[in-house]
Amino acid sequence: MTARPLDAFGAALTFVLCVVWGFNQVAVKLALADVGPVAQTGLRSAIGIVCVVAYARFARRPIFTLDGTEAAGALAGLLFTAEFVALYESLRWTTASRATLFIYASPFFVALGAVFLMKSERLDRRQWLGLALAFAGVALAMLGRSPGGGLLGDVLALLAAALWAATTIVIKATPLRRADPLKVLLYQIAVAAAVSPFLAWALGEAAPRSVSAQTLALLLWQGIVVVGVSYALWFWALKRYVAPQLAAFTFVTPLVGVLAGWLVFGDAITPGFAAAIVLVTGGLALVTWPAKR
């Protein structure tokens, strides 16, 4: 299928997906009352596996054959697992708004890594300016404290962004770049589901004892809606539409995440943090916005 320019339906779908992803940190933070960060990583991934496998069978996607991507897939899965454990743990120590801002600084790390590790990925002046703005925004947010924001949580969220970037680079620089995106997703959530119980034991995380109806609903939301439905729709959109035009919408997600944290938890947005939001999202827009032809 030849990728087509983004139309009104594609733009609306991408915006809805950004809203779903922006509210994800709020769902995680609410569920932490009953289920720890490692357990949430494993449970959402296990639920997501069921959705992805069901969709692959229905769509007859050939994602279960051996094709030489297994080692790279395992590495991507380990990085994916570490990313979400770091992100979910960060929400114990900082606000959902701050965690969302830092995790979506990931394109900054991707662009830097691509410059040094992937010589084919060259940045133009506009993208370098975007990186500079994003870096300034992250630095401003790290240096300035806001109520409820702890340095440990901020650092963990920024570590999660770096791990997300590392996963992206592994996918771009290994045979995974030729694999079905659904298979790449399955590698990541399968490793996360398999590793999480052992990681929880090693870290001494207590097993969930009692799970409220709200927490159960939040876990199902993460597994079915976020991992299963939204990722499948994103991969469908990537095949149908021009990828850079889709990527240009990603700057909406941290804005939604900050708004969600303010609406649900009353996260404080100080003038300094507001300036950091503008710098990071503006920089992200410059880095990902499609170049004019």
Buried b (16+ CB within 10 A) or exposed e, 44-75: bbbbbbebbbebbeeeebebeeeeebeebbbb
* Residue range 237-257, pLDDT digits in tens: 876 776 666 666 777 888 888
Mean pLDDT value of segment 267-290: 79
pLDDT level of residue 27 (50, 70, 90 thresholds):
very high
More confident residue, 54 or 270: 54
Nearest to 25 by CA among 106, 112, 94: 94
Least confident of 44-58, 63-77, 98-112, 134-148: 134-148
pLDDT at 1 over 60: no
The span from the CA of 99 to the CA of 105, in Å, is: 10
What's the pLDDT score for residue 226?
92
Q: How far is CA 84 from the centre of its chain?
A: 8
The predicted structure's pLDDT at residue 127 = 74
Average the pLDDT over 255-278 and give the result.
85
Report the C-alpha gap between 78 and 147 in whole angstroms. Answer: 33
For residue 160, pLDDT over 60 is answered with yes
- Largest Cα separation within the chain, whole Å, is 57
Q: Which of 114-118, 159-163, 227-231, 258-262 reaches the highest mean pLDDT? A: 159-163
Q: Is residue 29 part of a domain?
A: yes
For residue 82, pLDDT over 60 is answered with: yes
Query: What pTM was estimated for this model as a whole?
Result: 0.83
Q: Where are the beta strands (DSSP E) in 73-124?
A: none
Measured in whole angstroms, the distance separating CA 41 from the mean position of its chain's CA atoms is: 12
Model pLDDT for residues 167-181, shown as the tens digit of each residue: 888 888 889 888 888
Amino acid of residue 163: L
Q: Name the pLDDT band for 22 (thresholds 50, 70, 90).
A: confident
Host domain of residue 204: 8-288
Whether the pLDDT of residue 47 is over 60: the answer is yes
Joined together, the tokens standing for residue 42 give 């494993």
Structural domains counted in the chain: 1
Each residue of 222-241: pLDDT tens digit?
A: 999 998 888 878 877 876 77
pLDDT score recorded for residue 42:
93
What's residue 2's pLDDT? 61
Q: Is residue 121's pLDDT more than 60?
A: no
CA distances from 119 to 112, 128, 217 (A): 11, 16, 45
Q: From residue 161, how far is each of 87, 106, 167, 185 by CA, in Å?
A: 8, 4, 10, 18
Which residues have a Cβ under 8 Å from the Cβ of 5 and sit 6 or more positions away? 241, 242, 245
Q: Identify whether 164 is part of a domain.
A: yes
Domain-located, residue 165 = yes
Which contacts (CB < 8 Å, 24+ apart) does range 143-149 have?
144/270, 144/272, 144/273, 144/276, 146/95, 146/98, 146/267, 146/268, 146/269, 146/270, 146/272, 146/273, 147/268, 148/94, 148/95, 148/98, 148/265, 148/267, 148/268, 149/94, 149/95, 149/98
Flag whether 293 is in a domain: no
Number of residues in the chain: 293
pLDDT at 225: 93
Average pLDDT for the chain: 84
